[in-house]
Chains A and B, each alone.
Chain A
Amino acid sequence: MPSTPEQYFKDLWSTIKSITIGLRITLKYMFSKSVTIDYPFEKLAFAPRFRGIHEFEADKCIACDQCAKSCPVDCIYIDKSAPRKIDKKTGKAAGGELLRYAIDYQKCMFCALCTEPCPTDCIHMGKNHDLSSYSRHEMIVEFAEIDKKGLRTPIPLWVERNAGTIEWVAKEKERLEKGELATTAADIPST
């Protein structure tokens, strides 16, 4: 509390002054272009290296367990019937069957340490950031099962729900169903 009337009016004056300065800045931005994005209706641009939900190419996987070993939280589960090897003619893995390739997204922290040691570059970080589901067991994504449907990455719930109404989501769904990779060369670490 100010002790003198002079101090009181001085304080009052500087308060009004600083509020005016602040409001002038706010007013300046009121008439400038908005920086926010109307997200579900406008597409978000992701950087090429964006680390989203994995994209997995089962036909290239030799089930060598390197990704599972480098995972800090042990969220990758791999099972095979016999050793797999890359066939040099086709570039696809042959030999035993890839019985299971699952990632538990309750544990996964998207550190991308699994993509680094992969000898055949079959696992990448995708561009989807949204994996909500109705129950816990749906969070464990069985990539080997998904591959039988021709998918590289699971189709998120929001894509299925909004494909009918939002144009870019419909395109995204089409891309996912075709099994096209969002991964570019920049995603693959050059070690």
Chain B
Amino acid sequence: MTTTQSQTEQSFRIQTPDAPPEAYDRASGDGATDQADVKTEEMLVNMGPQHPSTHGVLRVVLRTDGEMVLEAIPHIGYLHRCAEKIGENVAYFQYIPYTDRMDYLAGMNENWTFCLAAERLAGITLPRRAELIRIIICELNRVASHLVSFGTYGLDIGAFTPFLYAFREREYVLDLFEMVCGARLTYSYFTVGGSTHDLPDGYTDKIIEFLDYFEPKIPEYNDLLTYNHIFIKRTANVGVIPKQMAIDYALTGPVIRGSGIAYDLRRPDDASKRYGLYHEMDFDVITAKGEMGTLGDCWDRYIIRMREMVESCKIIRQAIKMLPAPEGVGNSAGCYRVKLPRNFKPEAGEVYVETENPRGILGFYLESQGGPIPYRCKARAATFCNLSVTTAVCKDVLLADVPAIIGSIDIVMGQVDR
């Protein structure tokens, strides 16, 4: 542990002089030297847990010296609901509503991961239609989740307008979810062995209609926020996570791809980690190139999400083309659900499944002893691991950059605390 830490610190220090002079000037306090007549002293500042820019109930204790943040320590646990322990007390299908409440912005993806773990435990393979329904719905959810991330990131930086545009489009996605499962936030749409309902009539046409409407909006967002000069000044060269640090802290999702590492479980290097039918889809894993400054800065992490929305739209269009005709419940290709006994009891064994969520890799570890409820249920939350890098990144940064850094990591406290 100590060796990795010192390595990261070193690599972090090596990076700093390479950064353009603007970032360097910021770090030295705008030319203020020891001769300046203003004397500052260290102060502990509590940011949160009710701070609007901490994305929930995150409390960050900042050790500040004037405007400079010397150290930022995140304190978590304000939203802890014993979700893992609850999993050991309810049946497999009853736990699905609880997974919605972990990452409440991407409930469908969480449902999928848990259902996938239970299915792997019982050795169930899904019909083709069921798999494609999952891909369509989860990629829609990824779009909705990235829209929130993009909108609220603008809010953190001080741009209010993009937020309203992002939520307008998200509303259409939520309407689509309401049509398919009846809920707008806590979906519980997937169940062990498929999904609770088949897609309604004419649903795919509605998705295509939405995509046709939505895809031209992304360049509009880019005009509004991405290439806005003020936004670039606020995010480029801020909160740089070098490649090695990203690996050391086990970062996943857009955060690690923002550091230039193409790590996406939808396109795993190892075929045994494959899930769903993503290997049949044609899409690119987006990685950042450090266009506006240093590789791995806040702007890079932000642009990953914007570009991933385009890729998600591509995946949805392909999946809709591949969708077989509906056949009801059963095992043939067109079924949306495998018929399972109500008293679902997988054989004794353990399984660990990881999937790529909008915020990174979500893993579920399940252990069965042959009964109707899991013996052990554990979730590896992406944002929990991503949040751990905050202390390393928020070192010698300006106070106003801390919300920018935390926002770019895109945490959801429901998932961090579980």
Q: Is the CB of A186 within 8 A of B200?
A: yes
B19 on interface, CB distance cutoff 8 Å: no
Size band of the B side of the interface?
35 or more
Determine the chain A residues whose CB is within 8 A of the CB of B186 once the complex forms.
109-111
Q: Is the CB of A35 within 8 A of B230?
A: no
A window 81-118: CB within 8 A of B: 109-113, 116-117
B90 to chain A: closest residue by CB: A72
Bound form: Cα–Cα A46–B168 in Å: 17
B292 on interface, CB distance cutoff 8 Å: no
A17 on interface, CB distance cutoff 8 Å: yes
Determine the chain A residues whose CB is within 8 A of the CB of B228 once the complex forms.
18-19, 21-22
A52 to chain B: closest residue by CB: B182
Q: Is the CB of B180 within 8 A of A49?
A: yes
Determine the chain A residues whose CB is within 8 A of the CB of B211 once the complex forms.
none
B196 on interface, CB distance cutoff 8 Å: yes
Given A72-B94, A190-B328, answer yes or no on A47-B229 (Cβ-Cβ < 8 Å): no
- Least CB distance from A164 to B in Å reads 30
B200 to chain A: closest residue by CB: A186
Q: Is the CB of B94 within 8 A of A113?
A: yes
Bound form: Cα–Cα A22–B30 in Å: 30
Q: Is the CB of A26 within 8 A of B94?
A: no
Given A22-B224, A72-B97, answer yes or no on A14-B229 (Cβ-Cβ < 8 Å): yes
Bound form: Cα–Cα A14–B188 in Å: 46
A70 on interface, CB distance cutoff 8 Å: yes
Determine the chain B residues whose CB is within 8 A of the CB of A112 once the complex forms.
182, 188, 196
**Per-residue contact bits, chain B 383-405, to A (CB 8 Å; 1 contact, 0 not):** 00000000000000000000000
Q: Is the CB of B200 within 8 A of A49?
A: yes
A28 to chain B: closest residue by CB: B220
B197 on interface, CB distance cutoff 8 Å: yes
Q: Specify the main secondary structure of chain A where it touches its partner.
A: loop
Bound form: Cα–Cα A111–B328 in Å: 22
Determine the chain B residues whose CB is within 8 A of the CB of A51 once the complex forms.
181-183
Residue among B96, B178, B183, B233 with max Cβ neighbours from chain A (10 Å): B183
B323 on interface, CB distance cutoff 8 Å: no
Give which listed residue, A26, A47, A71, contacts B182 with CB less than 8 A: A47
Q: Is the CB of A191 within 8 A of B329?
A: yes
Determine the chain A residues whose CB is within 8 A of the CB of B97 once the complex forms.
72, 109, 111, 113
A172 on interface, CB distance cutoff 8 Å: no
Give which listed residue, A3, A15, A25, contacts B224 with CB less than 8 A: A25
A11 on interface, CB distance cutoff 8 Å: yes
- Least CB distance from B183 to A in Å reads 5
**Per-residue contact bits, chain A 1-34, to B (CB 8 Å; 1 contact, 0 not):** 1110000000100110111011001100000000
A125 on interface, CB distance cutoff 8 Å: yes
Bound form: Cα–Cα A11–B339 in Å: 63
**Per-residue contact bits, chain A 177-191, to B (CB 8 Å; 1 contact, 0 not):** 000000000110111
11 more contacts with CB within 8 A, not counting A21-B224, A113-B94, are A3-B21, A18-B228, A18-B230, A21-B228, A48-B179, A49-B181, A51-B183, A72-B94, A109-B97, A111-B186, A187-B182
Which residues of A are interface residues toward B (Cβ below 8 A)? 1-3, 11, 14-15, 17-19, 21-22, 25-26, 35, 46-51, 70-72, 109-113, 116-117, 125, 186-187, 189-191
Which residues of B are interface residues toward A (Cβ below 8 A)? 21-22, 25, 30, 90, 93-98, 161, 168, 171, 175, 178-183, 186, 188, 196-198, 200, 220, 223-224, 227-231, 233, 328-329, 337, 339, 342
8 closest residue pairs by CB, A with B: A51-B182, A111-B97, A49-B182, A72-B94, A14-B229, A18-B228, A47-B179, A47-B178
In the complex, 23 of the A-B residue pairs with CB atoms within 8 angstroms, ordered by the A residue number, are A2-B22, A18-B227, A18-B228, A18-B230, A19-B228, A25-B220, A25-B223, A25-B224, A26-B161, A35-B168, A47-B179, A49-B178, A49-B179, A49-B182, A70-B94, A71-B94, A109-B97, A110-B183, A111-B97, A113-B97, A113-B188, A187-B182, A190-B329
